[in-house]
Amino acid sequence: MPTKLSRYALITIVAAAVSHADASPRTKPKPVTRADIDRLEQKIAVQRKVIESLVRIQKEYAASLAALIADPNAVPANEPKEEPKQDAPKPDAPKPDAPKPLKQFKREPIEKPNGTVAGKVTGASDVYVYVDDLVATTATATATMKQEGKQFVPRVLVVQKGTRVDFPNRDAIFHNVFSVTPDSSFDLGSYPRGESRTVKMSRPGVINVYCNMHSQMVGYILVVPGSHYVRAGADGTFRLSVPAGHHRIVAWAPNAKPAVKEVDVGDDTVALDLELKQGAAPSHTKKDGLPYGSYKE
Amino acid sequence: MTPRVSVWAAALAITTSPVAAQPAEPDPTTEAQESAEPEPDRDEATVEMANRIDELETRLQSAEQSRKPKFPVKLSGYGDLGFFATEGDGSGFRRDIGHVVFPDRANYAWVFYGDLLATQVNTRGDAADLGDAPGVDRFDSIHSRGNPTFLVNELNMTVNAGLGEKALFESSVNFTPRTGTDFRLGDSFDVDLAQLEYMPTPTTSIFVGKVDSVIGIEYKTRKPPQRFGITPSLLSRYTVGTAVGLKARSKLLNDFLIVSAALTNGSFGTEQFHFNREVDTNTFKTVSGRVAVRIPIGDGAFEAGPSGSWGTQDGVPDGGRAMWFWGVDAELDLGRLDIKAQFLTGKAPGEAVSMTYALDLKKSGYVEANMILTPLIGILGRAEFRDAEVSEAMSRLYITKNWRATAGFRLLFSPHAIVKVEASHNGEYGGVPSVPDDLITTSAVIAF
């Protein structure tokens, strides 16, 4: 549930549901059984759907209203727009598809001045630096991670939340792309050269991508919450444009524990050095949990 | 709470929410933050409920994780259905009646020429017909007598069980429906793999049980779903079998060097001339090994290396001469094009008292090219030869100087549905009379 609004709605609803079901004060917490969890899970799922639907309607209403007040020619936020297809979003570049729709809510848009966070990340390669606490609206861009030469290309892909990632097969053989990352798992099945499958990256976090047929194929997708991210140079230096305010800056690299620091950004450059410790790639199994075996490719 | 009540509650919540009350936020990015912070004036019960939901969600996730089996088991397998037609009577050899062709071998009671397994019609290596050689009672599983025949080549059931991330148990059982004779059932099954693989490192495996071969490269494609074509090569009978024992394999120097070794009861052969047995008949075991280098080339790789085995032949007492094989193999895998070649020679001493067959594999080899034209269509070609003599004491001698040219194509609808067609011409050389044993064979593989 992405917004504050929906969170509050969910809390209110569940509070009402529970108070209705059990009005007496709790004296001793009952042990929670699996059935309780299942029941609550079902309730949560139903409530979420209802709330999401209502939030969408309210947003559409608000957007239309704001558009009428601020700019009679504006497009409502949820109206589908044609987006240019791109291979990978350029880091630190303004994302025309992310925050724009919400701007239409504003009568008098106020742009906070942009500051800069610059520094160096040591201890790892393929490093990305991003702002963890700036959440943009869901992106509609697409990115691509190919299967080529029994490898994922690029091996590391960073996308904004909501980006659709294409997985085209460029090899002469079949591949089966999958991920078992909790909350972001998917299984694209077997498909040959020339075919592609797409996955929408809905949750921020790191998604490890594998092939069920070729154990050496490992890819990493970092889904960042917003549009403020940048790839560090080969020497680890980076320069990230960030709106003024207090922010959480994260440095990430494959197989390294992310380094997090909080900074106060004004309209000046803030110096920030971070250290990562990159380890070996963890072993992984097939999608069904079985080891690959040594050489059954 | 009914859905209808829920809707009203949600609507109430939304209309009283801060966002609804404040339609314009100054910062578009922060507006969409996934903040879980409650407002200070929120009711304590609501905060408690939020915490409870978080806790329950966490427990749900844990419950989901715990539902995943710690020891996953996967059942898979395939069916290999075929049709074939051969020249002549379906057998690949003839008897040298009266020692007319090989008078210098008249010291043997029976002399045969050609190749008993020249008419292999499926990936198992079953011959279309084993002929009617005198003095032996062979289980001729197909016995087509030269008639075109539909055939269920093989049904397979494979069970894999993961024992953590570093250990895998794999078993594979083949079922072969065949015609019975003399009130004996012809159907049979064989356990062709039953191995426990332990991977102490990602590049090293230790196997125990009935394990795959380490000789050459053809064993990697010994099963119908993996093999590009249908029939095995003429030398596969010495290299693609499975044997009971221990095996280790490691990829070193960033996969540049591949080393494997095995200690097994017998050899990795499949030919039923006493060159291999499930259970050993003598104390001394067979040692096998392979060393190869692998050089990346573009998206593919070139791999080449020698391999061999040495040990007391099954059926021969301890202290007898050793049976040995050695050869070299090479493979250039460029993705769409895969070229492989192998050479093998070897000897098995045999034993007159126990009537154990002897082998003199003077030389044998093949070159095979597989090419993927489109994701659906692939073609293959193979050229090969085998120069060998197999004898049983002084009673029987099989003389083979055989060459074979094979062409075929494959339709790969998916990894689960494959159709293959192959045609082979068998020829003889070195003074061995020609045997009419060309064949055409097909295979439809349905894997699950």
CB contact under 8 A, B11 and A54: yes
CA distance B343 to B345: 7
> Which residues of chain A have a CB within 8 Å of the CB of B214?
none
pLDDT of residue B266: 87
Nearest to B435 by CA among B118, B100, B108, B83: B118
CA distance B364 to B385: 5
Minimal CA separation from B235 to chain A, in Å: 22
pLDDT of residue B176: 94
Q: Is the peptide bond before A291 cis (omega within 30 degrees of 0)?
A: no
The residues pairing with A207 across neighbouring beta strands, listed in sequence order, are A221
CA distance A97 to B101: 85
* Whole-number percent of chain B with pLDDT over 90: 66
A29-54 per-residue burial string, b: 16 or more CB within 10 A, e: under 16: eeeeeeeebeebbebbeebbebbbeb
CA distance B60 to B400: 68
And the tokens for B94? 């003839």
CB contact under 8 A, B23 and A172: no
CB B141 within 8 A of CB B186: yes
Among A5, A6, A10, A12, which would you mutate to test the B interface (most chain B Cβ atoms within 10 Å of its Cβ)?
A12
CB contact under 8 A, A285 and B31: no
And the tokens for B5? 């009540």
Please name the residues in contact with B253: beta carbons below 8 A apart, sequence gap of 6 or more.
none
* Window from A79-93, B159-173, B200-214 with minimum mean pLDDT: A79-93
And the tokens for B205? 């495996």
CB contact under 8 A, A293 and B25: no
Q: What is the CB-side half-sphere exposure of residue B24 using CA atoms within 13 A?
A: 14
Nearest to A134 by CA among A226, A250, A263: A226
> Which residues of chain A have a CB within 8 Å of the CB of B164?
291
Q: For residue B432, which amino acid is it?
A: V
A122-146 per-residue burial string, b: 16 or more CB within 10 A, e: under 16: bebebbbbbbbbbbbbbbbbbbbbb
And the tokens for A198? 């797409």
pLDDT digits (tens, 9 = 90+) for A85-126: 334 444 443 333 333 333 333 232 344 567 899 999 999 989
pTM for the model stands at: 0.73
| Helix H or strand E encompassing A7 | helix A4-21
A133, A288, A291 ranked by CB distance to B167: nearest: A291
CB contact under 8 A, A5 and B14: yes
| Residue A131 Cα to chain centre, angstroms | 12
Phi, psi at residue A116, to the nearest 5°?
A: -135, 140
CA distance A262 to A131: 10
Is any Cβ of chain A less than 8 angstroms from the Cβ of B298?
Answer: yes
- CA–CA distances in Å: residue B229 to residues A66, A77, B226: 67, 57, 9
Count of other CB atoms within 10 angstroms of residue A233: 12
Residue with tokens 């029941």: A39
- Is B42 exposed, middle or buried (CB count within 10 Å of its CB: 0-12, 13-18, 19+)? middle
Residue B406's pLDDT band, with cuts at 50, 70 and 90, is very high
> Which residues of chain B have a CB within 8 Å of the CB of A192?
375-376, 412, 414
pLDDT digits (tens, 9 = 90+) for B57-83: 666 666 665 566 778 899 999 999 999
| Helix H or strand E encompassing A102 | helix A100-103
CB contact under 8 A, A2 and B32: yes
CB contact under 8 A, B415 and A41: no
And the tokens for A37? 């969890």
DSSP A35: H
Residue segments in chain A with a per-residue pLDDT below the cut of 50 = 1-2, 5, 16-27, 71-111, 296-297
CATH 2.40.160.10-classified regions of chain B: 73-447
CB A125 within 8 A of CB A276: no
CB B92 within 8 A of CB B115: yes
> Which residues of chain B have a CB within 8 Å of the CB of A5?
14, 17-20
| Helix H or strand E encompassing A262 | strand A259-265
What is the interface pTM, i.e. ipTM, of the complex? 0.74
> Which residues of chain A have a CB within 8 Å of the CB of B56?
32, 37, 40-41
> Which residues of chain A have a CB within 8 Å of the CB of B26?
106, 110, 112
DSSP B181: B
Residue B35's pLDDT band, with cuts at 50, 70 and 90, is very low
Q: What is the homologous superfamily of the domain B73-447 according to CATH?
A: Porin (2.40.160.10)
Domain A114-275 listed as CATH 1.10.620.20? no
pLDDT digits (tens, 9 = 90+) for B78-91: 999 999 999 999 99
And the tokens for B290? 């392979």
CA distance B263 to B267: 9
Residues 128-167 of B with CB under 8 A from A: 160-162, 164-167
pLDDT digits (tens, 9 = 90+) for B214-254: 999 999 999 999 999 999 999 999 999 999 999 999 999 98
And the tokens for B258? 């591949």
And the tokens for B311? 């040990």
Average pLDDT in the B99-121 region? 95
A15, A136, A149 ranked by CB distance to B45: nearest: A15
pLDDT of residue A288: 87
And the tokens for B29? 């990015």
CB contact under 8 A, B23 and A105: yes
B228-244 per-residue burial string, b: 16 or more CB within 10 A, e: under 16: bbbbbbbbbbbbbbbbb
CA distance A250 to A239: 13
DSSP A185: -
B7, B10, B24 ranked by CB distance to A106: nearest: B24
CB contact under 8 A, A190 and B24: no
CB contact under 8 A, A290 and B161: yes
Is any Cβ of chain A less than 8 angstroms from the Cβ of B9?
Answer: yes
CB A180 within 8 A of CB A166: no
DSSP A133: S
| Residue A61 Cα to chain centre, angstroms | 26
3-state DSSP of B147-190: CCEEEEEEEEEEEEEECCCCEEEEEEEEEECCCCECCECCCEEE
Q: DSSP characters for B372-409?
A: ESSSSEEEEEEEEEEEEEEEETTTEEEEEEEEEEEEEE
And the tokens for A79? 């109206």
B152-186 per-residue burial string, b: 16 or more CB within 10 A, e: under 16: ebbbbebebbbbebbbbbbbbbbebebeeeeeeee
Minimal CA separation from B312 to chain A, in Å: 29
Please name the residues in contact with B151: beta carbons below 8 A apart, sequence gap of 6 or more.
B81, B82, B83, B84, B121, B122, B142
Helix and strand numbers, DSSP H then E, in chain B = 4, 18
Work out the mean pLDDT of chain B and round it to a whole number: 86
CB contact under 8 A, A149 and B299: yes
Count of other CB atoms within 10 angstroms of residue A181: 16
CB contact under 8 A, B13 and A13: yes
Nearest to B338 by CA among B313, B293, B303, B312: B303
CB contact under 8 A, A226 and B45: no
> Which residues of chain A have a CB within 8 Å of the CB of B375?
172, 192-194
Among B2, B4, B5, B6, which would you mutate to test the A interface (most chain A Cβ atoms within 10 Å of its Cβ)?
B6
Helix A34-70 × helix B44-67 angle, to 10°: 120
- Dihedral sign (CA A50, A52, A53, A57): positive
Is any Cβ of chain A less than 8 angstroms from the Cβ of B279?
Answer: no
CA distance B244 to B211: 6
Residues 27-66 of B with CB under 8 A from A: 27-36, 38, 43, 45-46, 49-50, 53, 56-57, 59-61, 63-65
CB contact under 8 A, A40 and B56: yes
CA distance B18 to B22: 6
- CA–CA distances in Å: residue B180 to residues B128, B156, B177, B184: 16, 20, 9, 5
pLDDT of residue A73: 42
Residue with tokens 């007492």: B317
Q: How many CB pairs lie under 8 A apart between chains A and B?
A: 202
* Whole-number percent of chain B with pLDDT over 70: 86
3-class secondary structure, A100: helix
pLDDT of residue A6: 53
pLDDT of residue B246: 97
- Is B34 exposed, middle or buried (CB count within 10 Å of its CB: 0-12, 13-18, 19+)? middle
Is any Cβ of chain A less than 8 angstroms from the Cβ of B26?
Answer: yes
pLDDT of residue A100: 37
CA distance B359 to B390: 5
Phi, psi at residue A49, to the nearest 5°?
A: -60, -45
pLDDT of residue B381: 98
Minimal CA separation from A249 to chain B, in Å: 15
